Amino acid sequence: MSNFLSKKLLSLNLNRKNKATSLANYKPFIIFEKLIFISGQLPFEDNKLKFAGKIDTELSDEEVKQSVYLSTNNLLWNLNDAIDKFKINRIKCINLKGYFNCTENFNNHSVLLDFSSNLLIKVFGETDGSHSRSVIGVNSLPKGSPIEIDGIFGILD
Amino acid sequence: MSNFLSKKLLSLNLNRKNKATSLANYKPFIIFEKLIFISGQLPFEDNKLKFAGKIDTELSDEEVKQSVYLSTNNLLWNLNDAIDKFKINRIKCINLKGYFNCTENFNNHSVLLDFSSNLLIKVFGETDGSHSRSVIGVNSLPKGSPIEIDGIFGILD
Amino acid sequence: MSNFLSKKLLSLNLNRKNKATSLANYKPFIIFEKLIFISGQLPFEDNKLKFAGKIDTELSDEEVKQSVYLSTNNLLWNLNDAIDKFKINRIKCINLKGYFNCTENFNNHSVLLDFSSNLLIKVFGETDGSHSRSVIGVNSLPKGSPIEIDGIFGILD
């Protein structure tokens, strides 16, 4: 199916082929009343984790950037499925959480999560795309992923 | 008091005696409009932390599994208190967050959190029990706990 | 502008000058329906991170305590901006998340986050100020901050 979000994502070359299925016994999204909760997303591409390792010692800057993009892409395509299923016309980005698998010396979390925040604003525009967020450094993530991102979105219409 | 959840929990041998009181100055749950937020739950039994240590080096597989079950059990009994207090008849599981105290080499988070997710689905059924979730590895938790789990639930009726 | 919260904060010597601007491309708060999400707050004072380092090895007890106070202060002044902007008369504290940058041996998270929880209850009173929460130890935070705190609040009136 095609909707306002899938059209926008494809126009930005954010391709659905990257979307991952759930790793385990949970749903990619849950809608309750006007809130959409998206599960933690990893940098999967074609159902495989594309990057693994610590972001400040084992991955290049470019690989880290791609990891943030892929995780955000998966977040957006899961959101697109929610939009399709419930015939949603307009979304407000509410909250993003970024978890970075890094060493204890890493301190550049905010700059890296901006690759995700900037993309959300590009997709939804400043008014609907702007959001609150938190970002933390963690010592491990599922399957050795460098990045995990989850989010909460609101149904405006 | 007895309600649909306490009956189900007792039928699954999930015993209330395991429920922990709050460690500090916070509430085990807060209800706001149709949302129920449950505070982070540790593997307490009889008001004592039953397991402590890193899940991949200091605890056996069985101890880790029991830690996930106990934390989930405490989550469910706190939810039961909310149900009792506000005479709730039906719950939707919305979101689960799992925090695992582990080394940086651990990467099996998803499989372990399934012990919690599977239990929620067993208790509430597939429709109401399925949920979104995120899981991360952290370097420490309160009192050296191996596991912490919190959750958001919705009131359907 | 002056409202019930700013008056209370100033009466407790919680001074607005400490409030930090956002580090990157996100909003300090988002309101959606009756919920207010506040972004992760660091111990900024006069737009500079006042403390950096691991809480159990690189900061004194007093510095850690001040870090929790400053982060909570910033949370409260961002909440105050939301209250001003949307002419809110009454707030319910719902959920707090505390992220502590510490070593893997640290286990005193709950006691430290009480500096934040106690302050919320002092500001809003027991009924509106009490909240659910989770606290975890992480291996790094943005800019080397020792503490990050975010929160969800509800609009009662």
Name residues 120-139 of chain A within 8 A of B (Cβ): 138-139
pLDDT at A38 over 80: yes
Cα separation of A105 and A109, whole Å? 11
Q: Do C140 and A95 touch (CB under 8 A)?
A: no
Contact C38, C93 (CB under 8 A): no
Which residues have C-beta within 8 Å of that of residue C126, sequence separation ≥ 6?
none
Q: What mean pLDDT is predicted for residues B84-100?
A: 96
Q: What mean pLDDT is predicted for residues B1-27?
A: 82
Residue B21 pLDDT grade (very low, low, confident, very high; cuts 50, 70, 90): low
For chain A, the average pLDDT equals 94
CA distance C46 to chain B (A): 29
The pLDDT assigned to B47 comes to: 85
pTM of the model: 0.96
pLDDT at B1 over 70: no
Return the percentage of chain A with pLDDT > 90, whole number.
89
> Is C60 at the interface with chain B, CB within 8 A?
no
pLDDT at C149 over 90: yes
- Predicted confidence (pLDDT) per residue in A45-65, tens digit: 988 999 999 999 999 999 999
Third-level CATH fold of C4-155: 60s Ribosomal Protein L30; Chain: A; (3.30.1330)
Q: Do B152 and A26 touch (CB under 8 A)?
A: no
Third-level CATH fold of B4-10+32-155: 60s Ribosomal Protein L30; Chain: A; (3.30.1330)
Mutation site for B-interface testing, chosen from A21, A22, A23, A32 by largest number of B Cβ within 10 Å: A32
Q: Do B95 and A27 touch (CB under 8 A)?
A: no
Q: Do C121 and B28 touch (CB under 8 A)?
A: no
Burial B139-152 (b: 16+ CB within 10 A, else e): bbbbebbbbbbbbb
Closest alpha carbon to A146 in A43, A15, A47: A43
Closest alpha carbon to A51 in A137, A115, A139, A146: A146
Q: Do C134 and B140 touch (CB under 8 A)?
A: no
* Domain boundaries of chain A, sorted by first residue: 30-155
Mutation site for B-interface testing, chosen from A49, A140, A141 by largest number of B Cβ within 10 Å: A140
Contact A72, A114 (CB under 8 A): no
> Is C114 at the interface with chain B, CB within 8 A?
yes
CATH 3.90.550.10 fits A30-155, yes or no: no
Nearest chain C Cα to B29, which residue?
Answer: C132
Q: What mean pLDDT is predicted for residues A103-123?
A: 96
> Is C140 at the interface with chain B, CB within 8 A?
no
